[in-house]
Chains A and B, each alone.
Chain A
Amino acid sequence: MINFRRSAAVLLGLLATTALTGPVPAAADEEQVAEPPRIELVLDVSGSMRAADIDGRTRISVAQQAFNDVVDALPEETQLGIRVLGATYKGKDKKVGCQDTQQIVPVGPVDRSAAKAAVAGLRPTGFTPVGLALRSAAQDLGTGTTTRRIVLITDGEDTCAPPDPCQVARELAAQGTSLVVDTLGLAPDEKVRRQLLCIAGATGGTYTAAQSADELTGRIKQLVERAGDTHTRAPTVVGGTDDCASAPLLAPGVYADRESFSEHRYYRVPVRPGQELRASVSMALDRPVNRDYGVLLRATAADGRELVRGADAGSGRADVLSAGLRWSATADDEATTDDEAAEESPAPVVEPTTVCLVVSNSFAARPGTAATPGMPVELTIDVVAAAGAPDGPDLGRGWVLLVLLTVAGLLTGLIAGLLTRWWVATWREN
């Protein structure tokens, strides 16, 4: 009994080991990132920062302490800049006050003591030109192939619109360099919250309401850390067209584009016979839209015949809506291509099929929602070897099969033995 159990366990173990050696996912190749992570903190130093309502301390002193902690804990490779708004102009002239924004620590390797000294000297003073400060911060961070982050810390709404800070954020995000604005509200009221949510939503950033010094410090540290983790090469910006023939031809990789409401965008991908196309698309909800929405990704042949589609729909609050598809040339397609090629030339050249990808959406704008620039689209494309259908013979597997065969064998043996006994007995009698 014990022996049988043990051997069964050994066999089970062996089987499990072999069965587990399935396909191992290929580790994504580590891509060398040329740039260090770049992040800029934008701090509101307007008059309202004098209010002493966070743990009994003034908002500015809480922010200064948080900045000191963040500068101390800054990872070596991260390049940090600090920009302030409303820090110098004491007058009442709105026109002058709304130009009041300066970079007090340039984006680059941080000199900790100099940065701390610059922050310590800040005194709450003037207006709140958030839009202008965002625009300048984006300039400070420069252009490049990796994602840049801005952390906006403010306690009051913009007092200088136009430009509307939310519209500025959307324009900056659409400019080509990948930019994320994370926002932090210090003891925010309803208007500030709305504005910061809008800025964060437009750029794929986050919004936090900080009610204590610990929360503020913890969150800024987390965002700086996140900037270091996620600044890898940003998707290539591509412009889809409105028909298949003129669509851009894409190699495997990640692409970014913009698509407005009810627009169709076309892209082309060369797929050779024996290859499998994998594509996925995400559309970000970067502005208020009607409650229900959907996104559709279709793969069509050059003549417009649909090959396969991926779709998803949703409702309510979300950041992105995504869909994906796989497609590979069927055996028929492959055979025809091979035959034709063989007839035409002695050395068969297998021409790739060009598959058109069509991205469309069923988002609907709310009254007053701007349609331009379009909503962010992220397209990932991969072309890998196709996997044929399993075509083994009709054999069986499993313990039930073994038991069934054994019982059948046993019964056959018993019947054969009984028949033999009966036959021998009959033969002896005669």
Chain B
Amino acid sequence: MRTALFRSLAALLAAGGAALLPAAAVAAPTPSPGATPVTRAGTSFLTATPITAGQPVRVDASVGDHLYWSFTATAGQVHEITATVTFPKARGGASTWTIDVFDGLRRRQACTAGAQTPTVDGKASSVALGCTLREVRPWAEPWSADPLPGTYVVRLSVVDLPEPDLGAPVDVDLLVGVVADRGASADDGALAAPLVPNTKAGTVLNAVPTPAPEADDEGDRLADWLPDLGSRWIWTGVGGVLAAVAGVVGFALTRRPRRP
């Protein structure tokens, strides 16, 4: 009886421990099977070609082009961007390439890892670039510069090179991958709308517009009150139940073994 209890306790701890172990080492992004390759690139923020994580990009371009792609990120995700620029022709000297990433407000994003601005000498036949972004937060104060859910824009360009090399053909391969997705809970807040840029042409107003009558609230439905399955209420409640059960088990363990 007692051994059985200890066994089950050990099993519980083992199960918990397995779940507690940190996620497997961050792997390089790989193309999703069956994803359609993208063969286009935009040339400005407004014309950035939308891609999705895991969708490989292969574009013929010219040295000196500024190539833009955009992808969507949700809270809890960590994205890694890898790119390879291949030079089919000989070049005159060393060149420096860069990947810049911007959020939906065109704010520059930091790379936590990766060769963001590599320099290659004139004889190399290709250059590899990489950038791992910060984890996307579900909410941040308006004054902060934290990465938030929404559209992200990747720009690949050459920042330093001998001028005669401009215009030569290059092949660009790029892949955006999600290397971690921790998800997010409603407890951590959420934006009213993700940072997706408004790309419609604007209208110049003549006067301050009068506020539109506000739509009535739909009322508090039961679903609004019930917490999500992943919320802190559920986790803490489950923890309380487990503690109570463990207390009873602990109490039972101290009983005198029943005589046969």
**Do A and B interact with each other, yes or no?**
yes
Question: Would you call A392 and B187 a contact (CB within 8 A)?
Answer: yes
Question: Would you call A327 and B16 a contact (CB within 8 A)?
Answer: no
Question: Would you call B254 and A420 a contact (CB within 8 A)?
Answer: yes
Question: Would you call B250 and A410 a contact (CB within 8 A)?
Answer: yes
Knowing A23-B149, A417-B255, A421-B254 are in contact, say whether A378-B46 is a contact too (CB < 8 A): yes
A319-335 contact mask (Cβ, 8 Å, vs B): 1 or 0: 11011111110000000
Is A190 in contact with chain B by the CB < 8 A criterion? yes
Contact of B102 among A211, A219, A250, A322 (CB under 8 A): A322
Question: Would you call A402 and B16 a contact (CB within 8 A)?
Answer: yes
Chain A residues, Cβ within 8 Å of B9: 410
Is A163 in contact with chain B by the CB < 8 A criterion? no
Question: Would you call B43 and A409 a contact (CB within 8 A)?
Answer: no
Knowing A15-B230, A254-B200, A406-B239 are in contact, say whether A411-B190 is a contact too (CB < 8 A): no
Question: Would you call B12 and A4 a contact (CB within 8 A)?
Answer: yes
Whole-angstrom CA separation of A254 from B201 in the bound complex? 5
Shortest distance in angstroms between A277's beta carbon and chain B's nearest beta carbon? 8
Question: Would you call A412 and B250 a contact (CB within 8 A)?
Answer: yes
Question: Would you call A255 and B202 a contact (CB within 8 A)?
Answer: yes
A1-37 contact mask (Cβ, 8 Å, vs B): 1 or 0: 1001101100010111111101111101101000000
Question: Would you call B106 and A324 a contact (CB within 8 A)?
Answer: yes
Knowing A249-B206, A316-B159 are in contact, say whether A230-B42 is a contact too (CB < 8 A): yes
Question: Would you call A416 and B247 a contact (CB within 8 A)?
Answer: yes
Chain B residues, Cβ within 8 Å of A279: 105
Chain B residues, Cβ within 8 Å of A350: 211
Is A413 in contact with chain B by the CB < 8 A criterion? yes
Question: Would you call A327 and B142 a contact (CB within 8 A)?
Answer: yes
Q: Which of B198-242 contact A (CB under 8 A)?
A: 198-209, 211, 228-233, 235-236, 238-240, 242
* CB contacts between A and B, total, < 8 Å: 347
Knowing A249-B206, A323-B106, A390-B139 are in contact, say whether A399-B166 is a contact too (CB < 8 A): no
Chain B residues, Cβ within 8 Å of A156: none
Knowing A386-B192, A399-B16 are in contact, say whether A276-B199 is a contact too (CB < 8 A): no
Contact of B60 among A188, A218, A381 (CB under 8 A): A218
Question: Would you call A402 and B246 a contact (CB within 8 A)?
Answer: no
Question: Would you call B194 and A26 a contact (CB within 8 A)?
Answer: yes
Whole-angstrom CA separation of A229 from B253 in the bound complex? 72
Knowing A19-B76, A226-B40, A354-B208 are in contact, say whether A410-B249 is a contact too (CB < 8 A): yes
Shortest distance in angstroms between B94's beta carbon and chain A's nearest beta carbon? 14
Chain B residue total in the interface (Cβ 8 A)? 110
Is B113 in contact with chain A by the CB < 8 A criterion? no
Surface stretch bound by A, among B29-37, B62-70, B79-87, B123-131:
B62-70
Knowing A8-B18, A402-B238, A416-B250 are in contact, say whether A19-B230 is a contact too (CB < 8 A): yes
Is A248 in contact with chain B by the CB < 8 A criterion? yes
Question: Would you call A405 and B239 a contact (CB within 8 A)?
Answer: yes
Question: Would you call B246 and A18 a contact (CB within 8 A)?
Answer: no
Q: Which residue of A lies closest to B190 (CB)?
A: A23
Contact of A226 among B43, B46, B184 (CB under 8 A): B43
Chain B residues, Cβ within 8 Å of A219: 60, 62
Chain B residues, Cβ within 8 Å of A320: 44-45
Shortest distance in angstroms between A249's beta carbon and chain B's nearest beta carbon? 4
Is B158 in contact with chain A by the CB < 8 A criterion? yes
Shortest distance in angstroms between B140's beta carbon and chain A's nearest beta carbon? 9
Chain A residues, Cβ within 8 Å of B204: 236, 238, 248-251
Question: Would you call B11 and A318 a contact (CB within 8 A)?
Answer: no
Contact of A19 among B40, B103, B185 (CB under 8 A): B185
Question: Would you call A384 and B193 a contact (CB within 8 A)?
Answer: yes
Knowing A249-B204, A402-B239 are in contact, say whether A25-B49 is a contact too (CB < 8 A): no
Is A88 in contact with chain B by the CB < 8 A criterion? no
Contact of B243 among A316, A389, A408, A414 (CB under 8 A): A408
